[in-house]
Amino acid sequence: MEILMSISTDTENQAELEHGILTQCIIQATGERRFNGQVMSNLLLKMNSKLNGINPTLKREFRPLRVLQ
């Protein structure tokens, strides 16, 4: 599968519906201003999900241990 990164909804719809190419759109300002590690991480999680990957999650009953001093 191919992934095309785009910022246009029209491009996304055409690529996915007409050509079967998965896309992930981002807001242009995000790509220009705030493209940091957290944005990249979220983008990769979305792309992985679209490719039927399994993203890591914590169990609801997970509670971190408290350190006593």
The residue ranges of every structural domain in the chain are 3-50
Q: What local confidence, expressed as pLDDT, does residue 1 receive?
A: 44
CA–CA separation, 25 and 68 (whole Å): 46
Tell me how far CA of residue 36 lies from CA of 3, 32, 41, 44, in angstroms.
20, 10, 9, 12
Tell me how far CA of residue 10 lies from CA of 6, 23, 34, 43, 46, in angstroms.
10, 11, 24, 19, 19
> What parts of the chain have a pLDDT lower than 70?
1-8, 58-60, 62-69
Structure pTM? 0.53
Q: What local confidence, expressed as pLDDT, does residue 68 receive?
A: 63
Q: How many Cβ atoms from other residues are within 10 Å of residue 23's Cβ?
A: 21
Q: What local confidence, expressed as pLDDT, does residue 36 receive?
A: 81
Q: Contact 25/9 with Cβ under 8 angstroms?
A: yes
